[in-house]
Structure 1
C-alpha cells in the first residue's frame, strides 16, 4: 500500500488493481507506486503478472477495478493515447523498429519534422535525433539504416525514440535479454543516466545481477500479487531472499502423481547447436519419462524444442531414436519419426479452428487409411474413440473446434497425435489459458500417457506443474542446459535460483 508520506513524490500510483482473464486471475489487489527519478525494478517468475501490470499502465489492458493516479490525477483506466500523453513510454524486448528505415526516420516515424506546407524536413529530423544521441553520450549514426546495426545499437534506437517523446516515465521490459556482458553494462549505465535526469524508470528483468546494480527499489510479483517491495538505498539486496519470495507456495497445493517405471533411452540429442556462436546441448529422454524443461523467457528453451521438432534450422548436432540416427529437417520429418508437438498457441499453430473435431484429429494421420481412401464412417468411429478416452466435451464429433473450451481444444490437439500413434510428445506450455479443473484433467492425461509408455518433454513456465509431473527437470539459461534436477532436487527455489543465476551465497552469476 502506498504510504501517505511518499505520495507527494509519486509519479504513478496504482491502487488495488484487479485484472482477470478467462480462468486466470492475472492481477489481484495490486498496489504499486513509482517515485520521481527512481529506478523501480519488478521481478517475478514467468506468469507472475508483470506484463499484465505494464500493459495496464500503458493502456493496452483495462483493469477490472482499482484506481490509477498519474501526476496526482485519478483515472479508472488509461488508453494508449492517454498514457503516452501523460508521458509514459515503454520499450519492449521485441523489436519495434523498421529495419529498412534510418535511425532518424525510426525515431520520428509518424511525427516527422515538416515545413508549414507539410513537406518533410529530413535534415531537421537528423539534427533532432543527433541532439538526443549526443545527450546520451552514445555512438550512433542517425542516417544509418537500422538493419545494418547491431542488436545493442537497435536497442539504443528504441531508447532514443522513447526519449524523443520527452517522457516522464520510461518502462523497460527485458532490455538486455540478448546482450553480452559488455553491452549490458552500456545499457545499464544509460538507464542510470536517464533516471538522474529526473525520468522515473520501471525496469523489468530476469537478470538479477542487473537488478542488484541499478535498483533503488525492487517489487516482487507472485501469482498476480505483490509479495513485497524492498527499499534499499545501498543496493545491498539479498538475491537468495528474492528467489524465495518469488516462490512462496506450499508444495501441498501441487498436483500429485504416482511414480511409474522409467525405461530405456528412446531419444538422445548430442552436440545440438542452435546458432553459430551458441553453446552445444546434450540430453536424453527415456521411455515412460516426463522430462521437464524450465527456463525464463529468452533463455533458449523454446528454440531448443523448435530445433528438435524441425521448426527451426540448427547449425549442428545429432539426434538418435532408439540408438539409430535420424535427420530431422522439418516438422514432417519429426512426425514421421514418431514425435508430436502440442504448441503453446493452439489457436495459431495447433488447430484449424473452422474445422471439426474429426478433421483436427485425423489431419496428421490420414496416411493410416489403406490406399489413401478415406472412409468417413470409420474416421468418425476412430475419432469417437478418442473423444471418449480423453473425455472431450463436445456436442458432436462434427463440432467446429473454435466453439470448444480451451481445455477441450487442448485435448483435441492431443487426440491428433494419439491418432497418429507417436511415441514422443512435446508439450509447450500444456495448460496455458486453461482453468484449474481442466488443468488437472490435462495433468492426469499426461501422467497416464507416460504410464502407457509414451515419452514426454514438457516445457512449462508454471513451476507447480513442472515439479508435480516431471521425473527430471533440465534448467535452460543463455541457450544452454545449466543443470539437471532429480527427485528431491526438483523444487521451486532450486529452479528459480538456477534460472536466475543466483549462487549459494546470494550473489548473481556474472
Structure 2
C-alpha cells in the first residue's frame, strides 16, 4: 500500500498581481524517494519550490504536510516543520565563518554560553560528509563557488530535514563534488528523507530520481516514474519541441581566415603563466580544463578585469594594452561573466536599467533619453526572446535563462567584434541552451570571433570549432576537428597526451 506523501501541493495556483504564474499544480513528495522537478527557465519551478518550503503562500489551493493542510508564514515555519531548501543562489552570510553560517540562528549553548567546541566538532563532521576540505574558521567570502555550494549542502545536512528541496545543486560543482553530493542524496533517501531535485542536467535526473514532474508555462505537463521516460522525451516535454539538434552545424572556418586576436605570454599572478593563443574571424574557440585550471582568470586578465601582464596582445592588427575593462570594450572586445547574479546584473533594478547601464553614452548626454532606452529594450526582448510577464519586472525575479539572455543583450549593445563568454549556459534549461548556441553560431557566421569557457563537456565538443585545454594555469594542448572528443579533453586536463597510446589503453 502506498504511503501518503510527506508534503504535497493540491491544485495550487500563484499570482503576482494580475499575472498568474502557476496553474493548478499537483505535486506529492514521498518519504524515501527522490522526485525530480524539471522544466524550462520560467516554467514555474522556483515558485513551486518556494511555496513548498514556506517562502511564499499559494494564491489558491492547498499545501499539505502529512495530509494536514498547513500555512507557512515564512521559511522559518517551513524549517520548523522539517522542510529545508538548498538555493541555487547562495543563502550564506559572506562575512561570517563557515561554522557561524551552519549554526546561524540556532547556535548551540552550554548554560548561558555558546558551546563553541561542539559546534566546531559538528561543523567538521558535516563538512567531512560532503568531502569539503575547508576550515570551519574560513570566511565564506574567501571560498570558491563550488566550496560555497558544499557548505550550503553541509548546512542542510545539519538540519536533519524530513524534506530536502535542492534547486540546481550541481550547477557549480566539479564532477567529484557532484558524485559526493549524490552519495549523500542516496544516503538520505535510504534513511527516509523525501527529496525534491531540480536540475537542467537530464542525465542527473535520469540517474538519480525515482519520480519526475515536468512543468511548462506554469502548469504540469507530465508526472510519473523517471524510468518510464528517456532523456529526449523529457526534453521534448519540457520545451514542447524537438531539441535533438541541440548544437548548430559547424561550418568550416577557412584556414586563411584573418587572425583577429593574438595573445603572447599572458600571465595572471597566482592563476596563469605564459599563455599564448590565436583567435580567427568567424571562429568559436572553446576553453576547457578542470575548475581551478585558470580558464576564467586568464580571460579576465585579458579583458582587464584583474591584474595581468603580457609580452604582446594584438587585436585587429594593432598592439593593445588594456588598463580598464572599458578600454577593452572600446577596442571591440567584451567579456560576459559566468556570475550573472553578482557581477553581471543589478538584481534589484529593471531590465531597461540593466540593458543600457554599460552604454549610457549611447542614450544621451546630461539627460538620458528614456524613449531610446525603451526602444532598445523592445528590440532586445524580441531578438533574444526574453520572456517575462511584464517589462517592469525586477531582474532578480526573472528566471535564470531570461537573466542570461538579458546579459547577452547587454553585452551585445556594446557591439563587440570579439566576445568572451564564460559558462554561457550554467543553470539554464535545454531549450534556452539551444537558443544561445544558435545565437553564438550566428554571431560567428556573421564574422565575429568568440571564445567560450565551459565546464560542460558536450558543450565544448558540440559548439567549439577548436579547443584549448588548460591545466595548472597553462595551456596543455589544442584540439581541432575530429580530434575534439571527451577522451582527449580529459587526458589533456590531467596532463596526459591527447592521443591514447597502446601502453595507456
| Pairwise same-fold verdict (TM > 0.5) | yes
Answer with 1 or 2: which has the greater Rg. Answer: 1
Give the one of 442, 456, 468 matched to 1:471. Answer: 442
SS of corresponding position for 1:483: helix
Cα separation, partners in 2 of 1:305 and 1:348, compared to 1, 3 Å: farther
Give the one of 96, 99, 113 matched to 2:108. Answer: 113
SS of corresponding position for 1:16: strand
Is 1:240 the counterpart of 2:232? The answer is yes
Alignment check: 8 A CA contact 1:89 1:169 kept: yes
Please give the per-residue CA displacement for 1:88-130, whole angstroms capped at 9, x wherever unaligned: 11122444445665554332222222234x2212223334546
SS of corresponding position for 1:42: strand
Q: How do residues 182-261 of structure 1 correspond to structure 2 at under 5 angstroms?
A: 182-232=176-226, 235=227, 238-249=230-241
Please give the per-residue CA displacement for 1:59-89, whole angstroms capped at 9, x wherever unaligned: 3333333321122222466521221121111
Please give the per-residue CA displacement for 1:444-495, whole angstroms capped at 9, x wherever unaligned: xx9xx99xx9979797864686599773588874167443499xxxxxxxxx
Is 1:330 the counterpart of 2:324? The answer is yes
Alignment check: 8 A CA contact 2:4 2:67 kept: no
Q: How do residues 56-205 of structure 1 correspond to structure 2 at under 5 angstroms?
A: 56-75=51-70, 78-98=73-93, 103-116=98-111, 118-129=112-123, 136=129, 143-145=136-138, 154-205=148-199
What TM-score results when the alignment is normalised by the length of structure 2?
A: 0.59
Cα separation, partners in 2 of 1:463 and 1:239, compared to 1, 3 Å: closer
- Unaligned stretches of 5+ in structure 2? 244-256, 394-401, 445-449, 466-484, 487-505
Give the one of 22, 25, 31 matched to 1:27. Answer: 22
Give the one of 458, 462, 470 matched to 1:483. Answer: 462
| Alpha-carbon offset, residue 145 of structure 1 | 3.2
Alignment check: 8 A CA contact 1:19 1:27 kept: yes
SS of corresponding position for 1:145: coil
Q: How do residues 256-295 of structure 1 correspond to structure 2 at under 5 angstroms?
A: 276=271
What TM-score results when the alignment is normalised by the length of structure 1?
A: 0.59
| Alpha-carbon offset, residue 30 of structure 1 | 2.3
Q: How do residues 310-349 of structure 1 correspond to structure 2 at under 5 angstroms?
A: 322-324=316-318, 326-337=320-331, 345=345
Give the match for residue 15 of structure 1. Answer: 10
Alignment check: 8 A CA contact 2:9 2:61 kept: yes
- Unaligned stretches of 5+ in structure 1? 252-263, 367-375, 393-406, 415-426, 487-500, 503-510
| Alpha-carbon offset, residue 248 of structure 1 | 0.9
Aligned CA-pair RMSD: 5.6
Give the match for residue 52 of structure 1. Answer: 47
Please give the per-residue CA displacement for 1:176-211, whole angstroms capped at 9, x wherever unaligned: 323332232222111100111111111222333332
Alignment check: 8 A CA contact 2:87 2:169 kept: yes
Cα separation, partners in 2 of 1:102 and 1:250, compared to 1, 3 Å: closer
Give the match for residue 431 of structure 1. Answer: 386
Alignment check: 8 A CA contact 1:267 1:321 kept: yes
Please give the per-residue CA displacement for 1:20-76, whole angstroms capped at 9, x wherever unaligned: 457975433322111111111223333332222222222333333332112222246
Alignment check: 8 A CA contact 1:267 1:319 kept: no
SS of corresponding position for 1:219: strand
Q: Distance in 1 between matches of 2:222 and 2:309?
A: 44
SS of corresponding position for 1:52: helix
